[in-house]
Structure formats: C-alpha cells, structure tokens
Amino acid sequence: MIVSRLLSAFRSHPRWGWTALIAYAAAVTFPHEQVQSAVNLLCIRFTFGGVFRASAAIGLAEAAVVTAFLFRGLVRQPQRRIVAGLWVLTLALIFGAWSTLTANNIELVHYPQYFPEGVALTTLTLSPAEALSWVVLLGGLDEGYQYWVLSMGRPTLFDFNDIYMDLLGGAAGVIFAMAFLRCARDPSPRQWIAALKRPGVIVIQSLTALGLLLWASGRMLIVEDKTNPHYWFALGRFRAPTFWFQVLSNGPNKYHTLTPAEGMVLILATIALYATLSRKYVITQ
C-alpha cells in the first residue's frame, strides 16, 4: 500500500525525514498572521457562520477519510485491536476538546495541521511517548511565536488550549502511523523505563521542571504584574473572568481557558495515557 511505502521511505532516510519535519513545522508556524488575515477575509465574504459550518464539514470529511485509510491499514496489523481502540480514544478526546476548549470551528485546523507531524515522528522514533513529546514541544514553540512575537503587547496569553489541540492532532497521526507500521507485543517492564529515557520525553520533563523552578522563584508569573519589577516574563496578559466564558469576537462557543498548571497536567496526563495503553506493544518497523 502506498502509505506503507511512504513511511518505509521516511524511515530509511532519517536525516531527510527530520529535515522535512522541521521544514514543515516552520512552514505552518511562521505564516500564521497571513493565514489569519486570509481567514478573516473569508469570514467577511461568506459570514462567520458560513465559515464555521464549512470548517465543521471539512473536519468531519477529513476524519472520515483518515479513518477509512486507517482501517485499511489495520487489515495487515497483528495488533489491530489496540490500534483501533487508541483511534477511538483519540476521536473521543478530540470531540471533548472541541466541546470544551474551542471558541469556534476554525480551530479544528489544529488537528490536521499536527497530524503529519505525529505520523512523521512515530515513523522516525518508533515511540508513541517520544513522538507526542516532540509534538508538544513544536506546539509550544508555535504558541510562543504567536504570544511573544505576533501578539506582543496585546491582552492575550500563552495558549495551552491550542497546544492541547496540537497534541491531539499529533496523537491522531501517531495512531495512524501505528496502523501501517508493525506492532508486536512486548510485556517487558523495561520498555516503560526506556520510554522515560527517550530524548523527547527528557526534554518535556526538563521543561516542566524548569517551569516549576522559575515559577517557585518568582521569575515567571502566570499573569503579568506591572508593579512587580523582579520577574522575567509572564504566561498571560489577562485573567479569564470565569471558568466558562464567551468572547463574541472569537466565536459562538462558551469555552474554558486552561491555566498553565491545568494545561501541563492535562498534556502530561495525556502523554502518559497513550504511553500506558501502548506500553505492552513495540513498533518494530
């Protein structure tokens, strides 16, 4: 099947694979402002409601097509039950994020945007935990660019909602790749220990520890405080008024804005969930 051949070629040339991955990540990150302007023009021309409905229709069509391809790949997958179960779990988490963390359907773009990264990273690392860790890092860099460069001085925040959606898009890519790569049972407890020593997992653990250290020392604030001259940076320039709230200019939905603590706990718990469910299985090729 063509998908299997493409993944095999990607795996056979890791240098080119990592180069292509970095190039893709840059290509979908840096033109953010231009893409946002183009979307705004579409909303003006076709109304916000029309664009929201079109976004939902496109998202559902993409999910149906990808699911169809995935189940074709499962025909040759000896561990098809666990992969199919992980796919259903991923779709459920995406639905949960859509219903609680998004202001409008345009934000569904996070899932297809990070889907290829999940596929590529799984093929290159053969580790769901490491692949998801790198996805979180790339999503964090994306949001950091938006927060500190594009939105400098605006009343916005380092958006953990978006990073979590990026993570789930990457998770969909991870499971899709697993459907076409060979998975085998490996109940050895050393596999879990080995996962913790993966470079991507170590990077996420280190960044989490560094964030806690900066927060505890007062060098990092959750919300900026202009009367405090001692901190280095803040992760937000406003505080959400309530747990559930709606910003009419952002979209029709009421949603919850994740605090940095909530965001990191949710992200780490999700990575651990996928790692736990797949810990008795190894990707061999």
* pLDDT tens-digit map of 254-275: 999 999 999 999 999 999 999 8
- With tokens 């605090």, the residue in question is 259
Read off the pLDDT band of 197 (50, 70, 90): confident
Other Cβ atoms less than 10 A from the Cβ of 77: the count is 19
Name the packing angle between helices 110-125 and 14-29 (round to 10°).
160
Which domain does 263 fall in, by range?
2-283
Looking at residue 255, what is its pLDDT?
95
Q: Which residues of 14-32 are buried (b: 16+ CB within 10 A; e: fewer)?
A: eeebeeebeeebeebbeee
Please classify residue 42 by burial: count the beta carbons closer than 10 Å to its beta carbon, then call 0-12 exposed, 13-18 middle and 19+ buried: middle
Looking at residue 250, what is its pLDDT?
81
Residue 120: closest CA among 4, 1, 7, 2: 7
Looking at residue 285, what is its pLDDT?
66
Each residue's pLDDT tens digit, 45-75: 999 999 999 999 999 999 999 999 999 999 8
DSSP annotation string for 206-265: HHHHHHHHHHHHTSEESS--TT--S-SEESBSS--SSSSB--TTT-S--B-PPPHHHHHH
Q: Is the pLDDT at 114 greater than 90, yes or no?
A: yes
Read off the pLDDT band of 187 (50, 70, 90): low
Residue 123: closest CA among 203, 202, 16: 16
Looking at residue 276, what is its pLDDT?
84
Looking at residue 261, what is its pLDDT?
94
The whole-model pTM stands at 0.96
Q: Is the pLDDT at 280 greater than 90, yes or no?
A: no
Domain count, the chain: 1
Each residue's pLDDT tens digit, 163-173: 999 999 999 99
Mean pLDDT calculated for residue range 114-136: 96
Looking at residue 132, what is its pLDDT?
97
Looking at residue 70, what is its pLDDT?
95
Q: What percent of the chain has pLDDT over 70?
A: 97
Q: Is the pLDDT at 28 greater than 70, yes or no?
A: yes
Residue 256: closest CA among 157, 171, 185: 157
Cα separation of 226 and 178, whole Å? 48
**How confident is the prediction for the chain on average, in pLDDT?**
92
- With tokens 């590529």, the residue in question is 120
Looking at residue 27, what is its pLDDT?
96
Mean pLDDT calculated for residue range 225-231: 91
Helices (H), the chain: 2-12, 14-29, 32-46, 48-73, 80-101, 110-125, 128-145, 160-180, 190-196, 199-217, 260-277
